[in-house]
């Protein structure tokens, strides 16, 4: 036994010593060597360096701080690894690291009529969400947002009444959000202008395959005339002017606005991208994508969008461990098309803008659905079409349409190749949209809304 322990200790030390370490720090420089004392400044540069080291395990250590991505970090075939020489991306010594899709704003604010204003010189900036000292502000809206009020944080039947619309000088680029008439999901519309003084022109509503919006549960946002309460904001695109109603001078605060909808993408082309691990990282600040939810889920009632803060497509042995995904405008994680032996474990996902319901599912036998979504809340372990889910902590707090969601995790398009490769086995967790077997659907709106599941055996 003594010799076995010595051997294991020697083997472990030998493996660790073979690993190549790359460092990234806020104080770094991409012209540096990437060592602990001379770190790189960006993850993009660290990725380039890791591509040169394919024969040994590689660790990318990130020093503490917020890292604002200008574009998604994309791992393709050229980043693929062998199992004995995997790539691991993680904080250095458990330091707090956040990867963000937002940009910090450095503006000159002036207070006028109780509202702070600032001119934005960069015309390329997107203004879809605004965070102040890490807190989400609300687009100028009616009715005003009330914490904990369902749905939407407040709704009103007169949200787009003729009397109210008449007060709006130019509501172009505003949004109307509404529940479905039977409270089965919701809709979002982009307001493109006015037909006349009291009637709106709109496009959208493709997020739900059922028609008719609710006559009471609706609200509008991004209307200048509705900027009337604390923590609301509005951006005038024509004038490039940002308005914020705050009781503090924004010049003394950290103001950020998301710019991209994906943070990390694993996407193989001719072959799957393999053997990369994300560990202990926090991901935040992506654009909302509710107007891009257009792909129907066969006979389902919802549509989806195949992008998330972390997106996997044609990927294998990709692991996300002990990560935190929060304050995201769209889906948190999307598994699309071919995925094999990918792992999501020990992670906390909350405050996510996805619009899909919480489903906890188990099929009686294997199935090959064409489009297959999965959104779950569980402390158990599931093998799901090549994706292992373990000890996932979730919290329903935020949704683009007001339907509270659990995780914003989507698994899409399990193909015949997945079945042939052995990914789908009897007793795997499967949702076949055509048959719709459901063990449980959580009440997502309030105690009165008892959403009944159809239990059709496979």
- pLDDT, average across residues 399-420: 36
Last residue of a domain, one of 213, 228, 257: 257
Kindly state whether residues 272 and 414 are assigned to the same domain: yes
**Could you tell me if 298 and 310 lie in one domain?**
yes
Q: Are 281 and 172 within one domain?
A: no
Looking at the fold, whether 165 and 138 belong to one and the same domain comes out as yes
What pLDDT, on a 0 to 100 scale, did the predictor assign at position 457? 22
245 and 333 share a domain?
Answer: no
Q: Quick check: 347 pLDDT over 60? A: yes
Would you state the structure tokens that stand for residue 97, as one six-digit string? 């690291």
pLDDT at 354: 63
- 173 and 281, same domain (yes or no): no
Confidence of residue 385 (pLDDT cuts 50, 70, 90): very low
pLDDT at 337: 79
Instruction: Answer whether residue 10 is part of any domain.
Output: no
Residue 76 has pLDDT above 90, yes or no: yes
pLDDT at residue 299, rounded to an integer: 58
- The pLDDT > 70 percentage for the chain reads 72
* 1 occurs within a structural domain: no
What pLDDT band is residue 229 in, cutting at 50, 70 and 90?
very high
- For residue 454, being part of any structural domain is answered with no
SS (H, E, C) the chain: CHHHHHHHHHHHHHHHHHCEEEEECCCCCCCCCCCCCCCECCHHHHHHHHHCCCCCCEEEEECCEEEECCCCEEECHHHCCCHHHCEEEEEHHHCCEEEECEEECCCCCEEECCEEEEECCCCCCCCCCCEECCEECEECEECCCCCCCCCCCCCCCCCCCHHHHCCCCCCCCEEEEEEECCCCCEEEEEEEEECCCCCEEEEECCCECCCCEEEEEEEEECCHHHCCCCCEEEEECCCCEEEEECCCCHHHCCEEEECCCCCEEEECCCCCEEEEEEECCEEECECCCHHHCCEECCCCCEEECCCEEEEEEEEEEEEEECCEEEEECCEEEEEEEEEECEEEECCEEEEECCCCCCEECCCCCCCCCCCCCCCCCEEEEEEECCEEEEEEEEECCCCCCCCCCCCCEEEECCCHHHHHCCCCCCCCCCCCCCCCCCCEECCCCCCCCCCCCCCCCC
In this structure, are 207 and 265 located in the same domain? no
Same domain, 40 and 68: no
Q: Which residues contact 79 (CB under 8 A, 6 or more apart)?
A: 47, 50, 51, 87, 273, 276
Residue range 213-238: mean pLDDT, rounded: 97
Range of the domain at 44: 16-24+31-60
Which pTM was predicted?
Answer: 0.80
**Res. 438: pLDDT tops 80:** no
Q: What is the pLDDT of residue 298?
A: 62
Is residue 200 domain-shared with residue 235, that is, in the same domain? yes
Mean pLDDT of 297-309: 78
Is 252 within 8 Å of 61 (Cβ atoms)? no
Q: Which residue has the higher pLDDT, 135 or 366?
A: 135
Greater confidence (147 vs 420) lies with 147
Please state the rounded mean pLDDT for residues 415-431: 32
Q: What is the mean pLDDT of residues 288-296?
A: 89
pLDDT tier for residue 59 given thresholds of 50, 70 and 90: very high
pLDDT at 290 over 70: yes
Would you say 22 and 59 are in contact if contact means Cβ atoms under 8 Å apart?
Answer: yes
Mean residue pLDDT of the chain comes to 78
Whether 28 has a pLDDT exceeding 80, the answer reads yes
Q: What's the domain count of the chain?
A: 3
Q: Quick one: 123 and 251 in the same domain?
A: yes
Q: Which of 238, 257, 276 is the last residue of a domain?
A: 257
Cβ 303 vs Cβ 206: under 8 Å: yes
Rounded to an integer, what distance in angstroms lies between the CA atom of residue 164 and that of residue 15? 68
- Same domain for 79 and 55, yes or no, is no
Neighbours of 421 (CB within 10 A): 14
First to last CA, the chain: 51
| Residue 452, in any domain of the structure | no
Choose between 428 and 369: higher pLDDT: 428
Most confident by average pLDDT, 27-36, 184-193, 200-209, 335-344: 27-36
**Interval 356-377 mean pLDDT:** 28
What pLDDT shows up at residue 425? 36
Q: What is the pLDDT of residues 189-210, one digit of tens each?
A: 999 999 999 999 999 999 888 8
- Whether the predicted pLDDT of 216 surpasses 60: yes
In a domain, residue 173? The reply is: yes
| The token pair that represents 203 in the structure block | 């496009």
Which residues on neighbouring strands pair with residue 211, listed in sequence order?
none
The stretch 97-105 carries a mean pLDDT of: 98
Q: List pLDDT tens digits, range 122-158.
A: 999 999 999 999 999 999 999 999 998 988 999 999 9
pLDDT at 226 over 50: yes
Domain limit, last residue, from 222, 242, 257: 257
pLDDT score at 185: 82
Instruction: Answer yes or no: is 56 within a domain.
Output: yes
What span, in angstroms and rounded, lies between the C-alpha atoms of 315 and 74? 12
Say whether both 306 and 371 belong to one domain: yes
Is residue 7 included in any domain, yes or no? Answer: no
Q: Is residue 156 part of a domain?
A: yes
């Amino acid at each position: 036994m003594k010799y076995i322990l010595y051997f294991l200790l020697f083997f472990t030390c030998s493996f660790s010593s073979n690993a190549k370490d790359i460092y990234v720090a806020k104080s770094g420089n991409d012209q540096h060597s990437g060592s602990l004392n001379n770190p790189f400044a960006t993850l993009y540069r660290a990725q380039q360096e890791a591509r040169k080291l394919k024969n040994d395990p590689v660790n990318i250590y990130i020093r503490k701080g917020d890292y604002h991505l200008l574009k998604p970090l994309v791992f393709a075939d050229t980043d693929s690894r062998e199992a004995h020489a995997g790539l691991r991306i993680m904080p250095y010594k458990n330091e707090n690291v956040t990867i963000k899709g937002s940009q910090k704003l450095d503006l000159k604010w002036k207070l006028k009529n109780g509202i702070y204003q600032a001119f934005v010189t960069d015309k390329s900036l997107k203004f879809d969400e605004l965070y102040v000292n890490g807190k989400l502000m609300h687009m100028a809206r009616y009715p005003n947002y009330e914490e904990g009020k369902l749905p939407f944080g407040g709704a009103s039947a007169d949200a787009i009444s003729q009397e109210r619309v008449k007060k709006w000088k130019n509501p172009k680029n505003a949004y109307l959000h509404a529940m479905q008439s039977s409270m089965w999901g919701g809709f979002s519309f982009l307001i493109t202008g006015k037909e006349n003084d009291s009637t709106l022109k709109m496009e959208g509503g493709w997020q739900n395959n059922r028609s008719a919006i609710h006559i009471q549960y609706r609200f509008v946002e991004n209307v200048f005339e509705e900027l009337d309460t604390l923590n609301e904001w509005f951006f005038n695109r024509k004038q490039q002017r940002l308005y914020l109603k705050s009781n503090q001078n924004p010049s003394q605060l950290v103001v950020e606005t998301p710019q991209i909808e994906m943070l990390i993408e694993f996407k193989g082309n001719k072959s799957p991208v393999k053997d990369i691990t994300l560990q202990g990282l926090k991901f935040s600040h992506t654009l909302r994508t509710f107007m891009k939810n257009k792909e129907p889920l066969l006979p389902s009632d919802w549509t989806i969008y195949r992008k998330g803060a972390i997106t996997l497509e044609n990927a294998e042995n990709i692991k996300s461990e002990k990560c935190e995904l929060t304050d995201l405008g769209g889906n948190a994680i999307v598994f699309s098309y071919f995925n094999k032996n990918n792992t999501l474990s020990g992670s906390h996902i909350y405050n996510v803008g996805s619009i899909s319901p919480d489903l906890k599912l188990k099929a009686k036998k294997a199935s090959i659905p064409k489009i297959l979504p999965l959104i779950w809340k569980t402390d158990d372990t599931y093998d799901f079409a090549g994706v292992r889910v373990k000890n996932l902590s979730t919290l329903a707090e935020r949704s683009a349409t007001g339907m509270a969601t659990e995780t914003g995790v989507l698994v899409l398009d399990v193909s015949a190749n997945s079945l042939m490769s052995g990914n789908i086995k009897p007793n795997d967790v499967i949702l076949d949209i055509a048959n719709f077997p459901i063990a449980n659907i959580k009440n997502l709106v309030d105690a009165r809304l008892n959403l009944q599941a159809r239990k059709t055996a496979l």
